[in-house]
Copies of this chain bind each other. A is one copy, B any other.
Amino acid sequence: MDVLFAGLGSMGMGMALSCLKAGHGVQGSDPDPARLDTLIRQGGQPVAAGGPAADALVCVVLNADQTRAALFGPQGLAGRLAPGGVIVACATVAPDFAREMEAEATARGLLYLDAPISGGAAKAAAGALSIMASGQPAAFAAAAPLLQAMAETVHHLGDQAGPGSAMKAVNQLLAGLHIMAMGEALALATAQGLDLARVQQVIGVSAGNSWMFQNRAPHVIAGDYAPRSAIDIWPKDLGIVAAMAQDAGLPLLLVETALAEYRAASAAGLGRLDDAVITRHIAARAGLALPDGGQD
């Protein structure tokens, strides 16, 4: 297949290279010329004006505004697709926005897959992502060779746009709360003089365990806040969750509290650091010292 990639960040680049490895032709687009150079060195091409129409467009940008611009804006790439081509939209967005984009695609004779991704940069590079997908059967069929190249697991969540993004929002609600719960737990453990590596070990075999605890606690224990996933993801993603809840008349008190805390951490200058640094944000209020990796 000939596939266009809008967005060659840590996720998009891995997905584009996975498609190249699988034998697809890849044309990429990114505001950063260095990212595009990397793709070209690996066998990809820049999106060419006036080239032949492509079969698919994978959009791996940050948010709804960027998605709309990358698809249908003045520089948008939807116009570069052949009739019946498929858009695979991977940003975390509200389900209503996904439905709006699907309607816009349909009006232009294109297919649309609501396909938020999960798994991080390493799994993107390995072609082993999880994709929480919904869309018309024709959209799934058209995207199948790409999904196979990029994902280990594709969750089929419904036959129109919306449920894919809704499922991603539910996952982000849990993930964002679990990271902050870890921060509060490790701050309390520090106040109590417990050894944090021992705490991680005990929690790992106890009812308090979570995927995020085991994934992020090592960052705190090492004092290493080089960003694998940054604090600034959470004001965005929990903001989407909070807006969805508000639309449903559903007060979610933990989400609202965590959203305020992540915004406060970002405002305190921690936004670009790894999200495990929320632990330091919490512990600092009591003057508690956490392990210091010396990087920041």
Q: List residues of A whose CB falls within 8 A of some B CB.
A: 95, 118-119, 130, 132, 153, 155, 157, 162-163, 166-167, 169-175, 177-178, 180-182, 184-185, 187-189, 191-194, 198-199, 202-203, 205-213, 215, 241, 244-245, 248-255, 257-258, 260-261, 282-283, 285-288
Contact = CB atoms under 8 A, between A and B. Distances in A.
Nearest to A189: B170
A249 B174 contact: no
A171 to B, nearest CB: 4
B173 A241 contact: no
Q: Summarize A's interface: helix, strand, loop or mixed.
A: helix
A237 B83 CA distance: 60
A11 to B, nearest CB: 14
A287 B248 CA distance: 10
Contacts of A182: 174
Given A181-B178, A206-B171, A208-B178, A188 B253 contact: no
A235 to B, nearest CB: 15
A102 to B, nearest CB: 16
Contact of A173 (B163, B184, B257, B283): B184
Given A178-B181, A250-B286, A257-B253, A170 B155 contact: no
Contacts of A287: 249
Contacts of A155: 202
